[in-house]
Chain A
Amino acid sequence: MLRQTAGSTRRIKRNRLPTAKMDYITAYCMIIPPLIVLGIFVFWPLYESLTKSLTDWNFYNTTYVGLKNYRVALRNPTFRRAFGNIVKYVLISVPIGIVLPFLFAHCVRHMRGLYADISKTALYIPSIISGVIASVIFLFIFDFQGGLLNNTIRTLGGTKYNFMAHGTSAMLCIIFTAFWSGFGHSTLYMLAGLNNIPDAYYEAAALDGCGGFRRMIFITVPCMRNIFLLSLVNGIRGTLMMMELPMLMTNGGPNNATITPVLYIYKMFSDSAVSMGYVLACSVMMMVFSVSFTAISFFLIKPDKSME
């Protein structure tokens, strides 16, 4: 480095590294601890799962079988059906889980005072209730004999309907329960995103004669892109990992109409007659599927900096 002093230019020898290099070293030092944790609890188990999935592993004995477990899993009709079901779950529940909270957040945004506090509290309470409790609550509501919904239908003159006896209605009941549980969480994300949009944009648009709908399409939606991506990724991830709701509400039935891959894997894990290698192969395939789904989401909704 050259330092210019009065009448001369001297080369100053610095013992310290350039600032940019110091920053890199600091950054790498700071990410090493989480990398170690990730290595122990994510990468190493992933490596072990991959290697063990190529064997007929039962904890004490290991026999290499190559890709046999994967072939068997892909041929298994229950496992294939589970993947088909989870795609349906995602295609139905994720869009609803984005659109409705977005619209509801609009309503809540302009509330003031006690009504706002009560609304926000009420809509968030389901989010702190565990899936197990939510399952029990909605099993009671959807129950054929004495459930709240069927009693209401009967009171209004209709005929009772066994929601859990039919694949489509059972799936919709599970989706509704999942939506109810996550609604508050998603709405608060949307509310935070909406509050982050400068009012100046709307004022300028209003001056230019933009109606409410056009303001939403051309201002709100683009500004909320990152929030939508967050909701999309969380919704997809949560739905793909769904297990406790179908397990408690329908046990995957009727006739595998509501089984999910994670529930299937859990059932195989609990069966002492099934090889762990097979269970791991199913888990690896589920992981690949989840990562692919998430990657596609990122590709379709490219996260960007805010419009500012």
Chain B
Amino acid sequence: MKRILSVLLALVMLVSISAIAVAEDPSTLSAPPAKEGETVVQFWCIMWETWNQNWLKTQAYNWNSNPDRPFYVDLALMDGDTFNTRIAAARAGDGTPDIICADYASVANNYRNGYTLDLKELIPQSAWDDLLDSAKEFITVGDAYAAYPWMMEPAVVMYYDKDAFTEVGLDPESPPTTWEELVEYSKMLTTPDRFGMDIDNTYNMWSWTYTANGDYMLTNDWTQANINSQGMKDFAALYRDIRSGVFASQTALKGQNVGVYAVLEERSAISFSGSWGVGAINNDYPEKIDRIGVAAAPTQDGEPFHATSGGWSFCVDAHAQHPQEAADYIYYMLGESAENVADFFVAASFAKFTTRKSVAEYLVANTDASKDERVQIIQSDIMPYVVAEPTYPWEVTAYVGNMLDSIALDGTEIDEAFANTEALINQYIADQGLAGANPKAK
């Protein structure tokens, strides 16, 4: 009997593993392989949502299916940690791919380190002229265009449960616009099983601190810390109140910048997440589409909130074997046909935003982009005020985050915490030789 059970268990495991191995991938199954002697462009990209992967695979499939293609594209998708490790190993062994993806915070550092090429002369001028000014700003390093931008997504959008608002007598169409309202509403919305609000202190914090401080955490020339403003201290006091545990959890309810799920799971009535949260609602909780409202995050005085604009771009590696071909493929994917690129944003449920003027016009004229109220709110209330992600080392951000935690959770006095952190950051600048090293300093 034992033997029969063991054999059955082994068979089940074998079948399940085999099923994963032969799972169908319709966009690549029938794409022809590279011809002998054909130029192959290696393209490495991070693996995101399934619909995102499918769009990339479809681009490669369509290109490779053309019998008159000038070269073959070999697309490799991998998760973020694997991507970082493989790229490091590839750079160390001088075996880098031709095309890599890069977030906007890395674009400038990659170019400064000599990892990527200037694409200005490799991609037609029309593609550059079509870019939105903000998008062009994200990929410009000095006089160079270090990448071609793919999409933008503000890192902080407020998501709130309209039913919870109605439940406690708040107007579901009037979310909080100031910190005072945020705290007041959150207290009203808190129940034994639900917090009024939730916030995390990772990438989210770039936006909150920039808005409170009016600037980044380092001066533009990276010579010293830039945190000692009244706005930042007021934000630290707010953060302390939030982390008191009365109307918000002392630790983030969900992982890094996916706070929208705290609202979707009804663990919190208000939370903050990137604009990709709209896609999460449409794909994972379609029954709650009408229930979840979106708005810009509140500020101290009701002025516009400055979310950092996350997003991704594609670069050509400095040691690429086929740099012009790589640039040609990037142009084909992102810079040429507006309709081709628009498909991506339709698949994203308009949760991500285009970097090109012609694509924006195409989406408004030919898709339901203009009919999605949430997208319109993000487009009108958040996108005009987005700022670039900071390019200084993550440790500077960590010092600020730890400072806020020490004030909120350890009871450190605000002035003392700010003085200590300013000294730490200045010491870090001196140790790492950051002064004057800002690749985007004007």
State in angstroms the CA–CA spacing of A77 and B424 once bound together.
8
**Given A255-B410, A272-B106, A273-B109; A145-B394 close (CB under 8 Å):** no
State in angstroms the CA–CA spacing of A255 and B404 once bound together.
9
Report the number of A-B residue pairs with Cβ-Cβ less than 8 Å. 84
Q: Considering only CB atoms and an 8 Å cut-off, how many residues of chain B contact the other chain?
A: 41
7 A-B pairs with C-beta separation under 8 A: A60-B319, A72-B431, A76-B428, A144-B249, A267-B394, A271-B394, A272-B109
**Given A60-B91, A60-B318, A61-B114; A273-B405 close (CB under 8 Å):** no
Find residues 151-178 in chain B having any chain A CB closer than 8 Å to their own CB: none
Tell yes or no: B240 within 8 A of A by CB: no
Q: Are B391 and A273 in contact, with the CB atoms below 8 A?
A: yes
Q: Pick from A97-105, A108-116, A162-170, A192-200 the stretch touching chain B.
A: A162-170
Residues of B within 8 A of A268 (CB): 395
What are the nearest 5 A-B pairs in CB distance?
A: A165-B250, A59-B91, A273-B393, A255-B405, A72-B431
Q: Given A59-B88, A165-B250, A273-B391, list of 19 further CB < 8 A pairs?
A: A58-B114, A59-B91, A59-B115, A61-B114, A75-B427, A77-B424, A145-B193, A162-B249, A165-B251, A251-B256, A254-B251, A267-B394, A268-B395, A273-B109, A273-B393, A273-B394, A274-B393, A274-B395, A276-B88
Interface string of A271-293 (1 = CB under 8 A from B): 11110101000000000000000
Residues of A within 8 A of B428 (CB): 76
A positions within 8 Å CB-CB of B = 58-61, 71-72, 75-78, 144-146, 162, 164-166, 251, 253-256, 267-274, 276, 278
Residues of B within 8 A of A253 (CB): 402, 405
Q: Are B114 and A60 in contact, with the CB atoms below 8 A?
A: yes
Q: Are B91 and A255 in contact, with the CB atoms below 8 A?
A: no
Q: Are A145 and B251 in contact, with the CB atoms below 8 A?
A: no
**Given A58-B114, A60-B91, A255-B406; A271-B251 close (CB under 8 Å):** no
Residues of B within 8 A of A255 (CB): 402, 405-406, 409-410
Tell yes or no: B113 within 8 A of A by CB: yes
Closest B residue to A253 by beta carbon equals B405
State in angstroms the CA–CA spacing of A146 and B410 once bound together.
24
Closest A residue to B102 by beta carbon equals A272
B positions within 8 Å CB-CB of A = 81, 84, 88, 91-92, 105-106, 109-110, 113-115, 193, 195, 202, 243, 245, 249-251, 253, 256, 267, 318-319, 391-395, 398, 402, 405-406, 409-410, 424, 427-428, 431-432
State in angstroms the CA–CA spacing of A124 and B391 once bound together.
47
Q: Are B402 and A162 in contact, with the CB atoms below 8 A?
A: no
Residues of B within 8 A of A162 (CB): 245, 249-251
Interface centre among B115, B249, B251 (most CB of A within 10 A): B251
Question: How far is the CB of A288 from the nearest CB of chain B, in Å?
Answer: 20
Closest B residue to A278 by beta carbon equals B432
Residues of B within 8 A of A166 (CB): 409
**Given A162-B251, A274-B393; A72-B115 close (CB under 8 Å):** no
**Contact for B395 among A145, A254, A271, CB less than 8 A:** A271
Question: How far is the CB of A266 from the nearest CB of chain B, in Å?
Answer: 9
